[in-house]
Amino acid sequence: MNIVPRYMPWRMFWVYAIGCALIAASLSIASRIGVRWSGLLFGLMMFLFVAMIHFPGALRQLHNRIIWTIVFREMSFGGAGWILAGNAMDGRRGPGKSTLIMVGRVLITMTLIVFGIEHFLHPEGLPGVPLEKQMPAWLPGRVLIDYVTGAALLVVAGSILLNRKTRTVAACVGGWILLMVLVIYGPVLIAALHQPGIGVQVEGINYFADTLLFAGAILALASATPRSDAVG
């Protein structure tokens, strides 16, 4: 409950409300029923988290890269939610659908650029979402993996900005991040679950889930790009 801002009334209510909203959103998105609303509201929830919790925190610690990484991460998740909502508006043309997808693309592109650069500045962190945790020592070519991931993120951002082969590039990079989740984050999660502290175990699960969600965001961006663009 400590993460709920102190000025909010009924702080316990909001914790349970968020839990219920996440249950509804996960079931809706997995079953593809009512994604128009679940994606839209999930995105809105993420933007409220950024505006009320993460962004004020980042302004208090301007030089803390981790908090800024979280700000961009949450914005990309919110943007991907809006892309899923826009995608779910099948058969509809109009400002609503295109605005949702455009806002989502802009937010994800900004995140890709920031994360791509961070991979080059901190090339021993876990790939995908560049937070504090370092890559496990047993992994060969750790720096190379981070450089490849950083370059891949920048290539997706470039393909979106140039509007060239976005679907193909985003699908490839989403697949790469998914591979990283399975090959690197999977063992990291299993190692964390064997540690005694609950905090370490939850952290391992969160790293796995965050990066999987980031892969989902990039794949959502790919799914919102017309197939004709893949040829161009």
Partner 1 sequence: MPPAIPAMFFETSPTVVAMCSAGIALFLAGAWAAKNEIAKARGLDKIVALSNLCFAIPLAVYISSAHDSS
- Rule CB under 8 A: which of 103-162 touch partner 1? none
Q: Which of 135, 171, 184, 188 binds partner 1 (CB under 8 A)?
A: 171
Cβ at position 121, least distance to partner 1 in Å: 26
Report the residue number, 22 or 151, with the smaller CB distance to partner 1. Answer: 22
- Work out whether 25 is an interface residue with partner 1 (CB under 8 A): yes
Angstrom distance (rounded) from CA 83 to CA 88: 8
- Rule CB under 8 A: which of 196-215 touch partner 1? 198, 201-202, 205-206, 209-210, 212-213, 215
Residue in this structure with the two tokens 């993420």, named with its chain if needed: 46
| DSSP for residue 3 | T
Encoding tokens for residue 229?
């663009």
Residues paired with 134 in a beta bridge: 125
- Backbone dihedral region for residue 67 (phi beyond 0: left; psi -120 to 50: alpha; all else: beta): alpha
The SS3 assignment for 125 reads: strand
Report the residue number, 39 or 130, with the smaller CB distance to partner 1. Answer: 39
Q: Residue 229, Cβ neighbours under 10 Å: how many? A: 14
Kindly list the residues in this chain that would bind partner 1 in the complex (CB under 8 A).
Answer: 1-3, 12, 15-16, 18-19, 22-23, 25-27, 29-32, 35, 42, 80-81, 84, 167-168, 171-172, 174-175, 178, 193, 198, 201-202, 205-206, 209-210, 212-213, 215-217, 219-220, 222-223
